[in-house]
Amino acid sequence: MTTLRKLFTNYWSPYVAIGIAGVLSALYFGITNTVWAVTGEFTRFGGHILQLFGVDISDWAYFDLIQMKGSTFDRTDGWIVWGMFIGALIMILFSNNFKIRMPKQKRRLVQGLIGGIIAGVGARLALGCNLAAFFTGVPQFSFHAWIFMAATAIGTYVGVKIVSTRWWKGKPILQKGNAAPAVRKSRKVQPYIGGLVAVVYAGLIVYFFLNGKTMLGVAAIFGAAFGILIERGQICFTSAFRDLWISGRATMTKAIILGMAISSVLTLIVILVNDVDPITKIAAPSTFIGGLLFGIGIVLAGGCETGMMYRLMEGQVIFLPVFIGNIIGATFLAYAWDHLGVFDLLVKSGAKINLISVMGPAWALIVTLVLLAVGYIVASYWQKNYRFGVGFKKGGANK
């Protein structure tokens, strides 16, 4: 019983959480031939909102590209997103951790919106966010993911420099006493609500399977599983980069690299056994610019898409404008794609490049694992030798 209680009340090691996510990501691809992703659905949300207001989006090329079929509740991508929200919420309630939290500085709401917009534009310009163009993009052996990853690293570094300025921070707000609640008795009902939500959601999944909507049921299961993992592991790609630049901490960075390595091996097995094509996105100037904007945006917002989702479910109000900003930014990019010439200027010159096609399955995996290993070694060295406010000390000392 104690072990079960710890499972719901203690956060999990990010290595465990994201390692499991890597396994499930490959398995999900094997079942559905699609990848774990969220911002494509955020863009469709924006399209549906425009339709509600009478806007005709039938001639928007971007919506043709990402396919606006049915409603969000009729798509597997939709249930991946809703499942992530619900899975994260269930675990937050089980751990008695939901609480409405307002930012001390109201300016953070506007900053979150701005960061969300920039991140939304960047993600959709690159045809994926920290998932489809990063965590699930690398295991698909799509070259665009490596461009996006490098650009995101640069973008987060720029973002850290911006948020470190006085004009961005604003005047500090001093608080008297301890702002944290001393007693949590009023929230003891939360685990029961979490249990109720879990039962209702399980009923919905059963409904999908009984009514022949198998893929929706599968997506709902995997979405909830991903939501549980990102919340319990506190998985945030923003912190994976930001912590390196600020404090040298590389735990999340190394965990994500390990998760991608596991997923790469399993995804290749799925590709070879099922004889399916990997999902490859265009590598173009848009990929680098999109990654750069995404990196800046997630730091300004205070979290990436995965981090935003579970923090919003925790009751952190600041991530509501971040979520709205993501939708606004993604929808704007969908308009700019053809109406403002973004495709012709930044995307058209690119090409879909997959490492499997270029060098064969074996070498594609070897090169991917070697590059990930190099990244892991660099992150470990960085953590060992980097000091906050000092940088790299000669000779480096152990942390």
Task: pLDDT band for 398, please (50, 70, 90 cuts).
Answer: very low
| pTM: predicted TM-score of the whole model, two decimal places | 0.91
The pLDDT score that the predictor gives to residue 182 is: 43
Task: Considering only residues 116 and 385, tell me which one the structure prediction assigns the higher pLDDT.
Answer: 116
Percent of residues, the chain, with pLDDT higher than 70: 91
Distance, in Å, from the CA atom of 315 to the CA atom of 145, rounded to the nearest integer, reads: 32
Q: What is the mean pLDDT of the chain?
A: 90
Is residue 300 within 8 Å of 115, Cβ to Cβ?
Answer: yes
- Rounded to 5°, the CA angle 346-299-378 comes to 85
Q: Give the per-residue pLDDT at 132.
A: 82
213 alpha-carbon distance from chain centroid: 26
**Would you state the pLDDT for residue 304?**
86
The reported pLDDT for the residue numbered 388 is 65
CA angle 47, 159, 263 (to 5 degrees): 65
Query: Tokens 């990063």 label which residue?
Result: 134
- Residue 355 reports pLDDT greater than 70: yes
Between helix 361-385 and helix 237-246 the angle, nearest 10°, is 40
Query: How does DSSP assign 201-234, residue by residue?
Result: HHHHHHHHHHTT-HHHHHHHHHHHHHHHHHHHTT
Is it the case that residue 397 has pLDDT exceeding 60? no
| pLDDT recorded at residue 64 | 92
Q: Phi and psi dihedrals of 395, rounded to 5?
A: 85, -20
Question: What is the rounded CA–CA span in Å between residue 156 and residue 151?
Answer: 9
Q: What is the mean pLDDT of residues 386-393?
A: 67
* Residue 238, pLDDT score: 85
Where does the pLDDT of residue 296 fall: very low under 50, low under 70, confident under 90, or very high at 90 and above?
very high
Structure tokens given for 232: 């319990």
| 26-35, 163-172, 294-303, 336-345: the lowest-pLDDT one | 163-172
pLDDT at 72: 92
- pLDDT reported for residue 391: 67
Percent of the chain residues past pLDDT 90, beyond the cut: 76
For residue 316, the model assigns a pLDDT of: 94
What residues does 142 pair with on adjacent strands? 354
Q: What's the whole-number mean pLDDT along residues 153-178?
A: 81
Give the mean pLDDT of 86-108.
93
In the predicted model, what is the mean pLDDT of residues 149-167?
93
For the segment 54-62, the average pLDDT, to the nearest whole number, is: 93
The pLDDT assigned to 244 comes to: 85
**What average pLDDT does range 128-144 have in this prediction?**
90
Query: How confident is the model over 224-273, as pLDDT tens digits?
Result: 999 999 999 999 888 888 888 888 889 999 999 999 999 999 999 999 99
Query: Is it the case that residue 130 has pLDDT exceeding 60?
Result: yes
Task: Tell me what pLDDT residue 179 has.
Answer: 47
- Helix axis angle, 143-163 to 237-246, nearest 10°: 50
Predicted local distance difference test score (pLDDT) of residue 272: 96
pLDDT in tens, 270-288: 999 999 999 999 999 999 9
Please indicate whether residue 25 or residue 183 has the higher confidence score (pLDDT). Answer: 25
What pLDDT was estimated at residue 175? 57
Q: Name which residue leads in pLDDT, 382 or 171.
A: 382
> Is the confidence at residue 105, as pLDDT, over 90?
no
Average pLDDT in the 78-97 region? 95
SS3 assignment, position 176: coil
Cβ–Cβ under 8 Å, residues 116 and 258: no
